[in-house]
Amino acid sequence: MEKSEVFEKGFELIGNSKIVFLATNDEKGYPIIKGMLNMENDGLKRIWFGTNASSKKVSRIERDQRACVYCVDEENFRGLTLVGDIGILKDPESKRRLWREGFERYYPLGAEDPDYCVLEFTAKKATMYHGLEELTLEL
């Protein structure tokens, strides 16, 4: 596998994923996976999610910023694992930028809703799996 495949196919894979999988650590150090709506990304380096500030996931992230994002293309036997750190953004600009039509269902007060926040994941390394091959790159 070439380095370019990690970037090009990885980028394509994120772009085509409606849902990606986010793992964070609970208070006992157990990894916890949850499916997340794939909202916005900057290449493989940064991924943003909108979520509930009151959720258990946000409490986990307040305690421990280590995280992983995974997406998969089952048909083509490709998977992408991104490992890095995740932070919580509550500034109005980030919240407005990630706001999507229909979110009123979840956050009745709109983009300013105090229960709405943004997660910013920053990848430190990327591993692309393709069939039996895999390649890890530092980002």
Residues near its own copies (CB under 8 A): 18-19, 21, 23-26, 28-35, 64, 66-70, 72, 74, 79, 81, 83, 106, 129, 132
Helix (H) or strand (E) segment spanning residue 78? strand 78-89
Pair of tokens at residue 65: 């910023």
CB of 6 to its own copies, least distance (A): 16
CB of 126 to its own copies, least distance (A): 12
* CA dist., res. 102 & res. 25, Å (int): 30
Query: CB-wise, 81 or 94, nearer to its own copies?
Result: 81
* CA dist., res. 60 & res. 75, Å (int): 33
Torsion from C-alpha of 68, 11, 7, 86, nearest 10 degrees:
-30
Query: CB-wise, 66 or 97, nearer to its own copies?
Result: 66
Query: CB-wise, 39 or 72, nearer to its own copies?
Result: 72
Query: CB-wise, 106 or 114, nearer to its own copies?
Result: 106
CB of 8 to its own copies, least distance (A): 20
Distance, C-alpha 88 to centroid of its chain: 12
